[in-house]
A and B are shown apart, each in its own frame.
Chain A
Amino acid sequence: MKFTSILTGAALALGLAGAALAQEKTKVGFIYVGPVGDGGWTFEHDQGRKAVEEAFGDKVETVFQESVPEGADAERAMTQMALGGANIIFATSFGYMDPVLNVAAKFPNVKFEHATGFKRADNVSTYSARFYEGRAVQGTIAGRMTKTNKIGYIASFPIPEVIRGINSAYIHARKVNPDVEFSVVWVYTWFDPAKEADAANALIEQGADVILQHTDSTAPQAAAEKAGNVITFGQASDMAEYAPLPRVSSIIDNWGPYYIARVQAVMDGTWESTDTWDGIGPGMVKIGEISSAVPADVKAEAEALRDAIAAGEYHPFTGPLKKQDGSDWLAEGETADDGTLAGMNFYVEGLSGDIPN
């Protein structure tokens, strides 16, 4: 007997045993890339897990594993959960993409949900949030608030997700302040407080008085607080402990409703492989409270933008827009299609520097 069929057999046996139990309990697994206490990305996924527990009470059992390296270790961690009888597994980092598909092929009866990826299968869904919508609001506040006209951006990896965020923030900062300049620092990590603090300090020394971050720790917030006269935004999580200054607002990932809906679908037997990409409108992206450090008119402007995006009246990537090299991208009134956004690998006109590769 082939090994994969042994695994499948075991899974089936468990599935059958599980089916008897399933009337009472659905087992939900979560794989996290960072520690649950990171205060950002993983923290919010874990909030989503807790929301699932709260919503279903005794009807679910959740398990999670934190700080799982991307690669062979992730494959083992998910196999472990599937063997342990998990009915649905949420893999919450881009780097788990190929491992998810490998494990999913061996456990056809287990449902898999992969965050921020693009490969799907009959039992693999993908989901992500339109964080760039939040970046538009953030850019507006940043452009209005900066006095030095220098905005520092701590970027993690040169992937479409991060590049979209830089473009969206820049477009909207420039819209309200044509003199604004962005300095982007690539730190090649999602979570490394020491590196993030170094990057923040370097940007502040270069004169930046607004720090935007696409990394998960609160270290840049602490660096800005220490430097004084620098504002920041919470990333992935509210980071409200740094409000009202330096943190003036935040982009919050709100996974709870999605997780609850997907677990419900497994319970009802209606789960299907889908691709979800939700933004401010459906509530997957939230704008954290704009603090008292922001003048009332700027706050009103930012909230109006937020509401327009939520209502679908405004798309953050609306033409006329050119690419960095000066070539045309979007004509007047044209909005970007999801395909271009999903694979975005270019800066818009006005941004300086190159995307590293």
Chain B
Amino acid sequence: MFRLEKRPAPSRFWTASTPVLAVVLTMLAGGAMFAFLGTDPLAAIRTIFWDPIFGEFAFYYRGQLLVKAAPLILIAIGLSLGFRAGIWNIGAEGQYIIGAISGAAFGLAFYPSESILLFPAMIVAGALGGWLWAMIPAILKTRFNTNEILVSLMLVYVAEAMLASVSSGLLRNPDGLGFPGSRNFKDYPAAHNNFLIESAGVHWGVVTAILAVIFAYALLNRHLLGFQIRLTGAAPKAARFAGVNPSMLVVICMGISGALAGLAGMFEVTGPAGQISIDFNSNYGFTAIIVAFLGRLNPIGVMLAGLLMALTYVGGDAAASTLGLPGAAIQLLQGMLLFFLLAVDVLANFKIRFGKTEAA
């Protein structure tokens, strides 16, 4: 038999290579699932993982990858900072929604403005909205010691209810014949997050996501705050002795992740989505949690993980329509990715020893 022996420190080799191993295992298990569904597994895997980047219509899909990845990366970068310090913001979906509503509402309030200052102001409004929504669980935690996992998660449902309300009330398009949904930002140039390079799918959200990756990398590696975040995650007691103020850290980490989620929502609603509508949110805030862990809570890793997750979405949709795969099969594939990643994490933290257990 074999047994597991805890490593004194996580293996650097396995920490870097387990995400790749998890992807390979996902392809194998996913392929088996597709075979059971009566689809050619090779064709399915190729459609999902290869065609969007190198296939016939890659000129379109490559841009879509960035469109899909940008909000995931933006949110996951913020989450990963908190996760490193053991601060669990699970409610990014809510902060994303409130950021979108704040940014959109600010822009729509000045309809039909043509000011070039409008869009920058909307960006600030979006970040502020997400930040404020994240401050609720942060302040409740630091003042009353509530659990930020529960509070931030439950605030997602409050945010969803607010989204439904403003879609059919406050922000409803006055020219929309009573149907829910705001004006479309595509018809409102001063407030529209247009593509900067359309064929590459680059809009302001993509630029901001790249900046966030660089910012987080510098913060973690070059800044005292980054050191405090890492120390708190590794050894909370030692961090306290080193002069880290845990309450301050909660407020800062929740604030950054809330603001980034708010930005993601704002860029999405004014760009690719185009309007506030009842079903505007599509689980980016929850998917970003997977992205953060898939990326090992490391900024560069998060960026790669975001692109990979976007690939499973874009490729998955392509497989759903061209190969007739059920939508649930694609979600299963994405679930497998996280499952295998967590499973192979064992390799990073433990050594596998073969042979009988020695008597202690």
Binding site for B on A (CB under 8 A): 2-4, 6-7, 10, 29, 35-36, 63-73, 75-77, 79-81, 83-84, 94-95, 98-99, 102, 118, 157-160, 188, 342-345, 356-357
Contacts and interface: CB of A to CB of B under 8 A. Distances in A.
Contact of A160 (B178, B186, B273, B282): B178
A80 B273 contact: no
A174 to B, nearest CB: 24
A63 B325 CA distance: 10
Contacts of B322: 63, 80, 84
Nearest to B314: A76
The list of the 8 closest CB pairs from A to B, nearest first, reads: A357-B169, A72-B272, A67-B327, A3-B198, A345-B178, A71-B273, A65-B321, A3-B199
Contact of A188 (B172, B186, B278, B280): B278
Interface of B: 57, 59-60, 64, 67, 161, 164-165, 168-169, 172, 177-181, 184, 186, 198-199, 268, 272-275, 277-280, 282, 313-314, 317-318, 320-322, 324, 326-328
A65 B280 CA distance: 19
A98 B272 CA distance: 11
27 contacts: A2-B198, A6-B59, A64-B321, A64-B324, A67-B328, A69-B279, A72-B268, A73-B313, A80-B317, A81-B321, A84-B321, A95-B277, A95-B278, A98-B184, A98-B274, A98-B275, A102-B186, A102-B274, A157-B278, A158-B168, A159-B168, A160-B178, A160-B179, A356-B169, A357-B165, A357-B169, A357-B172
A81 B322 CA distance: 8
B214 to A, nearest CB: 25
A254 B172 CA distance: 31
Contacts of A344: 178
Contact of A158 (B180, B279, B313, B326): B180
A65 B180 contact: no
A94 B179 contact: yes
Contacts of B168: 157-159, 356-357
A356 B186 CA distance: 27
Contacts of A36: 326
Contact of A65 (B181, B278, B320): B320
B5 to A, nearest CB: 44
Contact of B317 (A2, A65, A94): A65
A3 B318 CA distance: 20
